[in-house]
Amino acid sequence: MQLPKEFYTALEDYQRIGFIKVGFSGSRKPLTPGQAGALRHVLNELKGIGVLEFHHSCCKGAEEEAHHIALEVGAVIVGHPQRLKEGETAILQCHKLRAPELIAKCKVDIVQETNVVITAPSTTVYDPNNATWFMTMYAQNLQRQGLKSLVVLEPEVMSNRMAQ
């Protein structure tokens, strides 16, 4: 998988300080094989900068998988648990844990506390009621202002690209 040139240009400042914070949001469905491979690739690229801090909202599904991938590459994990019904939150060991919040607040906090945002929606169709799409659009607005880097791992596209 080849990341756009702009992605690397935006990371030059972080290479100087040797530290980068990544925010992640995914659906309650598992990552597709393409999304998982792409996430591993992106995190390994970012890990080359130095210390990698990985923020997510502790949900079952894609975020739980991403948590384990981030641990594999040696990231420090920061959990932003959501106030969910019992059984919807993944029980994960995090290096740092924020206080539980409502879903929208968790997503906003993750974007605000990180430099790079990676999202893995389960569909390529925008859904205004979906938390992953909410976080994607919020980060995209900040990216347009030059304040964030955003990587969207779309399910079908990533599966096809990683298979090539």
Domain extent listing, the chain:
19-163
Q: For all residues of the chain together, what is the average pLDDT?
A: 85
Per-residue pLDDT of 19-36, as tens digits, reads 899 999 999 899 999 999
Per-residue pLDDT of 54-68, as tens digits, reads 999 988 899 999 999
The confidence score (pLDDT) of residue 159 equals 47
Q: How confident is the model at residue 13 (pLDDT cuts 50, 70, 90)?
A: low
Angle, in degrees to the nearest 10, between helices 103-113 and 131-144: 30
Pair 81, 65: CB distance under 8 Å: no
Residue from 132, 153, 135 nearest 143 by CA = 135
Pair 118, 151: CB distance under 8 Å: yes
The confidence score (pLDDT) of residue 72 equals 95
Would you give the end-to-end CA distance of the chain in angstroms? 9
Domain 19-163 is in which class? alpha beta
Residue from 66, 132, 124, 70 nearest 103 by CA = 132
User: In 3-state terms, what secondary structure has residue 45?
Assistant: helix
Per-residue pLDDT of 79-117, as tens digits, reads 999 886 665 666 778 999 999 899 899 999 999 999 999
